[in-house]
Structure formats: structure tokens, C-alpha cells
């Protein structure tokens, strides 16, 4: 017997993500996949060995809900050395099942039905569904695109604030644009939230990928903002292990207490041996300190390979993404162009329009350069034909 059930979707506008769609098309067409943001090279064998040692040494049962203490201690020390702010590892740092779970749990912990959350677009695609699941209302402010690339229009952010504004979401280094916030940007944000109860959610998963001598302006570096902020980051991005899905949140104790109420009933805890392995591996700071130079070389290789093409290169000051303007090549919309590029040229990209709640067409697509040099060279050879 077949029974028809009637129910309302909590996310009626959500379908398959653009990342899944383009990766499946890339596989079908045997295209070089510069779409989805993950490396195609292995992590440091020493990290694998550290996790294996943790397994062999019996670190295989539930860790504390907040995360393995050695990893929280390592993070506390690292943040203090890099940014000058101390987070108590017992009450102000929690290990999460990747950054996406961290973002969702932050939003679910502080956003109430009817609260407004300011989202600066283009924005990572998990932000808005998380806000809607919490019963909040996303309020969109679009970044400005000029000769120097994308920038946040703080005057428009300020104008978007209302008595119902609960949270402002920022992302630096920024996915998908590759822009980074400056100290002037941070000061503008501080001016907006001063003398309010507005909280900040700072997505910093690409924190160690900042180039050309620029400084990563972590929210942790700014005491006035850190006092009202959740900082989210990802070991997967830093250590080339995106499939491990391990991240963390740092926040003042009062905010962290609310976060943990949601965290404990969503995932409770995170892979134990991986936590202990990462904690051991973090005793050597070189892998994350050397990451800017590692990825800047790949960025420059990719940019140099496109200089003679008809693509217009936008600035890429951070992340492992390069946005390009294809308006000299085609008048197709971004989704159509990305599909054509994948199917006919054999290189997958992501349309930046997919990072807007209502797609905005700017003739820009995003490439990921977190790939082996041979992969990048193969892609560049194909792109040179466009």
C-alpha cells in the first residue's frame, strides 16, 4: 500500500548545492575540477602518523563534549601567540564537526525567531539556511565590486541595522571573492556595533591563507569586538584534510556556554583520535606559519598562466580561490558559462552568482587553486583555448 504524506519543508528553496552539481558534471565530463574547494594533494604524513599513534594508544572513546583538552590547550596557545588574546581552553574553546556545523550551532544558539542577521553577499551557502532554521531573518548587504576588487560597504551595513538585528556575519579571508578585511574595515564594524547588543560571527576558515604581506585581521585581535564575537575556523583547510570535518569555535565564556547547549545535542563530540593527532601535530607551528607562502606560489602560478588569456583577473588577497571576469569571452549568465566551461573546455568553475540569495549576474566565476601544480598546468592549458 502506498501512502501519501503531507508536510511542509523547513527549507523549501533549498536544492542540491552548486558545488555538488559542478563536481558531478566535472566527473561526467572528465574535466579538471577547479570548482569545489578542496586540495587534490595529500596532507603531511606526520599528521597521519600522529592520528594513527592516537588510535594505537587507545584514544578511541568519546572525548569531552567541548573537545579533547590537549587540542583546546594547543588552540589557546596558538591564538594568544598570533593574535594576543587569551581564550580559556576550559570555557571558551569548543571543537566542532567542521566549520559548517560550528556556524549552524552558533546561529541556532543565539538567533531567536524574528531576529535579523546581516549577511554580506556574496556569502557561503550555509549561512542563510542556518538563519532560516533558527527562525531568523537574513538581511542582505551586497559587497561593492570596483577596480580593486570586492569590498564591504560599511555605510550600507550600518543602514541595515534595526532594533531587531541580533547578529552580523563576516568572513575573512572571504569565500568566494578572495578579499580580506583590513584594520579599517574592522574599525568600521566596531563603530556600527558599539553601544548595541549585536553579536558578531566571524568565519575565518582561511585564516592562514593571506598573501602579499597582508595581515589576517582576526576578530580575536580586536578586544572590543572579540568580547561579543564567535570566531570559527577549520583544521581541514589549514592542514589539507577537508574530509576530516574538524573545526573549532572560540568565544567569551558566556557566549560559549550558549553555544555548547546546542553543540551537545547536535553532534555532542568529534572524532577522538583525530583531535589528539592534530593536538600533537600543532606543537610544530611551521605548517600553518608557512601556509601563506605555500599557497601564494600556487596563486601566482595560476594567475601568471591566465595573464595572456581573455579572462580578467580579480584580486586574490586571501583564501585559495581566484575569481575571473569572463565578459570579454561570453555574454552567457554565470551558471551557463560555468556549465559550458566544464563541458566544452574541460575545466570546472563555480558561478559567483550562486553565492547570492537572489542570483546577481556579474560575469564572474571562481576557480580553486588548491591543487597540484600538474593539475593547475593542465587546467591552464585548456583555459588558454578559451
CATH of residue 54's domain is: 3.40.640.10
DSSP calls for 199-266? EEEEE-TTTT-B-TT-----GGG-HHHHTTEEEEEEHHHHTT-GGG--EEEE--HHHHHHHHHHHTTT
**Does 156 lie in the same domain as 117?**
yes
**Does 241 lie in the same domain as 294?**
no
Over the stretch 81-99, which tens digit does the pLDDT of each residue have? 999 999 999 999 999 999 9
- The answer to the question of residue 259 being in a domain is yes
- Tell me which long-range contacts 219-223 makes (C-beta under 8 A, separation of at least 24): 219/170, 219/186, 220/79, 220/82, 220/83, 220/84, 220/85, 220/87, 220/250, 221/83, 221/84, 221/85, 221/186, 222/186, 222/190, 223/85
- The answer to the question of residue 221 being in a domain is yes
Q: Chain-wide mean pLDDT for the chain?
A: 96
DSSP calls for 249-265? EE--HHHHHHHHHHHTT
CATH number where 326 lies:
3.90.1150.10
Quick check: 21 pLDDT over 90?
no
Is residue 303 within 8 Å of 381, Cβ to Cβ? no
**Does 240 lie in the same domain as 121?**
yes
**Does 184 lie in the same domain as 159?**
yes
Give the pTM.
0.96
- The answer to the question of residue 12 being in a domain is no
**Does 360 lie in the same domain as 311?**
yes
Of 232, 255, 284, the domain-final residue: 284
Could you tell me the maximum CA-CA distance found in the chain, to the nearest angstrom? 66
Using CA atoms of 64, 69, 70, 72 in order, give the dihedral in degrees to the nearest 10: 110
* pLDDT at site 300: 98
Predicted confidence band of residue 385 (pLDDT cuts 50, 70, 90): confident
CA 152 to chain centre: 17
Of 284, 299, 320, the domain-final residue: 284
**Does 273 lie in the same domain as 299?**
no
**Does 152 lie in the same domain as 197?**
yes
Quick check: 125 pLDDT over 80?
yes
- Measured distance CA(5)–CA(368) in Å, rounded: 42
Structural domain boundaries, residue 261 = 46-284
**Does 363 lie in the same domain as 343?**
yes
- Looking at the 3D structure of the chain, how many domains does it have? 2
* pLDDT at site 113: 97
**Does 354 lie in the same domain as 251?**
no
* pLDDT at site 1: 62
Of 284, 302, 337, the domain-final residue: 284
* pLDDT at site 8: 87
Amino acid at each position: 500500500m502506498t501512502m501519501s504524506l503531507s508536510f511542509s519543508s523547513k527549507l523549501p528553496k533549498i536544492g542540491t548545492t552548486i558545488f555538488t552539481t559542478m563536481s558531478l558534471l566535472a566527473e561526467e565530463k572528465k574535466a579538471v575540477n577547479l570548482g569545489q574547494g578542496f586540495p587534490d594533494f595529500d596532507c603531511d604524513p606526520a599528521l597521519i602518523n600522529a592520528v594513527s599513534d592516537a588510535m594505537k594508544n587507545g584514544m578511541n572513546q568519546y572525548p569531552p563534549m567541548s573537545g579533547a583538552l590537549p587540542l583546546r590547550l594547543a588552540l589557546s596557545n596558538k591564538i594568544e601567540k598570533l593574535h594576543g588574546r587569551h581564550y580559556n581552553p576550559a570555557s571558551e574553546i569548543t571543537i566542532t564537526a567542521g566549520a559548517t556545523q560550528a556556524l549552524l550551532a552558533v546561529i541556532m544558539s543565539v538567533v531567536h525567531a524574528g531576529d535579523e542577521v546581516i549577511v554580506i553577499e556574496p556569502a557561503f551557502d550555509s549561512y542563510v539556511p542556518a538563519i532560516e532554521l533558527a527562525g531568523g531573518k537574513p538581511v542582505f548587504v551586497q559587497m561593492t565590486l570596483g577596480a580593486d576588487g570586492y569590498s564591504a560597504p560599511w555605510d550600507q551595513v550600518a543602514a541595515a541595522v534595526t532594533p531587531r538585528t541580533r547578529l552580523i556575519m563576516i568572513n575573512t579571508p572571504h569565500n568566494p571573492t578572495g578579499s580580506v578585511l583590513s584594520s579599517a574595515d574592522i574599525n568600521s564594524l566596531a563603530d556600527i556595533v558599539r553601544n548595541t547588543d549585536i553579536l558578531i560571527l566571524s568565519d575565518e576558515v582561511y585564516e592562514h591563507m593571506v598573501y602579499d604581506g597582508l595581515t589576517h585581521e582576526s576578530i580575536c585581535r580586536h578586544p572590543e569586538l572579540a568580547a561579543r564575537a564567535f570566531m570559527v575556523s577549520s583544521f581541514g583547510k589549514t592542514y589539507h584534510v577537508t574530509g576530516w570535518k574538524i573545526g573549532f569555535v572560540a568565544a567569551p565564556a558566556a557566549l560559549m556556554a550558549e553555544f555548547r547547549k546546542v553543540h551537545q545535542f547536535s553532534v555532542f563530540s568529534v572524532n577522538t583520535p583525530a583531535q589528539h593527532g592534530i593536538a600533537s601535530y600543532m606543537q610544530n607551528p611551521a605548517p600553518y606559519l608557512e601556509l601563506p607562502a605555500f599557497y601564494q606560489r600556487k596563486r601566482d602560478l595560476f594567475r601568471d598562466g591566465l595573464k595572456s588569456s581573455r579572462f580578467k583577473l580579480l584580486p586574490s588577497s586571501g583564501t585559495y580561490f581566484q575569481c575571473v571576469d569572463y565578459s570579454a569571452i561570453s555574454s552567457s549568465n554565470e551558471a551557463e558559462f560555468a556549465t559550458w566551461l566544464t563541458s566544452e573546455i574541460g575545466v570546472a568553475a563555480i558561478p559567483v552568482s550562486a553565492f547570492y540569495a537572489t542570483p546577481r549576474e556579474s560575469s564572474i566565476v571562481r576557480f580553486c587553486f588548491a591543487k597540484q601544480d600538474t593539475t593547475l598546468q593542465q587546467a591552464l592549458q585548456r583555459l588558454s583555448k578559451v
